[in-house]
Structure 1
């Protein structure tokens, strides 16, 4: 599996000027400088211990030297051997949403309260900057977009790592919602639609998938239809099972649970069935 490691560099002013000249010349010169930097260890690395270990063991071919938002970065490609997927002992269901970005069937919720507040502030700032239509406002908007993308990416990395770590620890696979067409499928009020469209759910799913592959954890995608209205205890489906945003109270058996946890349990059950259908097609 190809894995890209991004390393931030901290050059001196003289080194920064030399690097800028190098980038202006051509990509070939940048690759040459990158190789020399790696061979002579003349730069300072800023990356996690896991990334440093991956670089030492699996770095292959060329690296790209780039300058982004005033920072010097070295983009290195690592060719990591695939890890065999182990037979899962059940599945960890993951429900994705707005109030809670991700909820597992174990009951752990990654709250979206703080994230939604940050995103609301960013929307208001963008609105004010867009109204000014000045060059400085446009520069600030561009910088803001990149900052927001980094923020979402960091949050998605943290959430996906936590999900994969828990699945690997308990020997389970991961069941995710198939979010294809989620923006066209769901029916929400306008403020919620804005929130839904502004969060990188697809990126979160991608992060979970590639981290799971590296850990040898199975991943299945299930149809999310009615997972929020179905009772995870008896299977009864009724829109009245959701009296409010946070609660699932079955009108048939009386079972009650947090709505997101209930949905995650339904997703986990569908994950088990889906895995069996694909990997044991002749099973009774």
Structure 2
């Protein structure tokens, strides 16, 4: 599996100027290539290379950086067309889609530039790199990073490295190829329900609350508003403080998501269970929110938490599935009931079945239903493939993609709520 590691470069002023000029020239050239590709309607890398390679060489780019510029533009158009085909930019006549198709793709002046091992080489023992620039080959540029990350980089780096210019600093984002741990056959599943009040709630009843993160984000919003008002009044100090505070909130949220995902994966691996999440892609387009809820909902890192859980599970060999999220918090988890209605949730935190009287915390009920759906999905994936007649009675083949045997999940391994007769 592919992972990335980011380290920070520590260039001298002369080296920093050469790196900045290199990033700027590469992105200027990429924008020119994008104009040609849009005008000619040529988006394949090889055909685009025949059109623009000579012109790129004339701008001062060497052979490998020129090829990377062409590929960067071709990949950008490939991504755009994939988003259009998937409907992520709206219908055929939507304003957003027409706008995306009406002009060439434009890259930022400081967009990342990829380098391969011909243009960039590492000396892990000396903590330095050598990199091609428009001013020639720069050698012995120091870099720094967290010791564990640097050790991981030295052991697993393979492939390209991106040079990133951000907030006046330079970073290298290196691709690492990590061997995936063998996946075990799960004895059961841990359902995980993601939310805003509770960031993650498992079917075991473990609750990772988001109240602290909500307070932190509200405080950051107040501070930003105060600094922006002072900046509008002409305060240079406020402008500098706003720049320092940029992305601080995102780093804090990512740190919380790392902690939560690490704990969930550790529990699953220790108990030899798989992890199941709701498939929440496109949720912002499906739900309708009040005005005061929009900012919180649109900026909440749902996808990031799911991505962290997924890649940590794959590294640990823990089975991972995503299930249909429909009505997980409104459906009764009792096997002989299964009653589904909005009335089963009288408020955000409570589930109370209108038919059988089963009650409990709504988020735990949702996680339990996710767990049950994972059992069904995994049983289908793990079912044997029928052997065609005439091929003997050898050991039945497994369904494509199966990595373990079907699991027994008829009954919950815990009691998420209480059941009582209704009067």
TM category, shorter: 0.7 to 0.9
Using CA pairs under 8 Å that are at least 6 residues apart, name the structure with larger relative contact order, 1 or 2: 1
Larger helix share, 1 or 2 = 1
Q: Partner of 1:58 in structure 2?
A: 156
Map Cα deviations across residues 25-84 of structure 1 (whole Å, 9 max, x no partner).
Answer: 5367x97996355353355743253x3442232112454454544655442221112333
> C-alpha separation between the residues in 2 aligned to 1:84 and 1:204?
23
Q: Partner of 2:68 in structure 1?
A: none
The answer for unaligned runs of 5 or more in structure 2 is: 24-64, 66-113, 129-141, 386-398, 400-405, 407-423
Residue 200 (structure 1) aligned with residue 301 (structure 2): yes
Map Cα deviations across residues 124-153 of structure 1 (whole Å, 9 max, x no partner).
Answer: 333444555458566655544422222222
Residue 23 (structure 1) aligned with residue 19 (structure 2): yes
TM-score (norm 1): 0.83
Query: Does the CA contact (< 8 Å) of 1:35 and 1:63 recur in 2?
Result: no
Aligned partner (choices 41, 44, 48) of residue 127 of structure 2: 41
Query: Does the CA contact (< 8 Å) of 2:4 and 2:173 recur in 1?
Result: yes
> C-alpha separation between the residues in 2 aligned to 1:35 and 1:277?
47
Q: Would the alpha carbon gap of residues 181 and 222 (structure 1) be closer, same or farther in structure 2, given more than 3 Å must change?
A: same
Aligned partner (choices 71, 88, 95) of residue 186 of structure 2: 88
> C-alpha separation between the residues in 2 aligned to 1:241 and 1:259?
9
> C-alpha separation between the residues in 2 aligned to 1:41 and 1:33?
17
Q: Partner of 2:216 in structure 1?
A: 118
> C-alpha separation between the residues in 2 aligned to 1:237 and 1:281?
32
> C-alpha separation between the residues in 2 aligned to 1:33 and 1:216?
35
Q: Would the alpha carbon gap of residues 103 and 72 (structure 1) be closer, same or farther in structure 2, given more than 3 Å must change?
A: same
Q: CA deviation at 1:185?
A: 2.6
Residue 251 (structure 1) aligned with residue 354 (structure 2): yes
Q: Partner of 1:77 in structure 2?
A: 175
Q: Would the alpha carbon gap of residues 36 and 71 (structure 1) be closer, same or farther in structure 2, given more than 3 Å must change?
A: same
Aligned partner (choices 357, 362, 370) of residue 267 of structure 1: 370
Aligned partner (choices 197, 203, 207) of residue 105 of structure 1: 203
The answer for unaligned runs of 5 or more in structure 1 is: none
> C-alpha separation between the residues in 1 aligned to 2:127 and 2:285?
50
> C-alpha separation between the residues in 2 aligned to 1:183 and 1:153?
20
Larger Rg: 2
TM-score (norm 2): 0.58
Query: Does the CA contact (< 8 Å) of 1:34 and 1:74 recur in 2?
Result: no
Query: Does the CA contact (< 8 Å) of 2:339 and 2:353 recur in 1?
Result: yes
Number of residues paired by the alignment?
278
Residue 170 (structure 1) aligned with residue 166 (structure 2): no
Query: Does the CA contact (< 8 Å) of 1:231 and 1:237 recur in 2?
Result: yes
The alignment partner of 1:40 has SS state of coil
Q: Partner of 2:327 in structure 1?
A: 226
> C-alpha separation between the residues in 1 aligned to 2:279 and 2:164?
35
The alignment partner of 2:258 has SS state of helix
Q: Partner of 1:7 in structure 2?
A: 7
> C-alpha separation between the residues in 1 aligned to 2:288 and 2:362?
17
> C-alpha separation between the residues in 2 aligned to 1:189 and 1:62?
44
The alignment partner of 2:185 has SS state of coil
Query: Does the CA contact (< 8 Å) of 1:99 and 1:113 recur in 2?
Result: yes
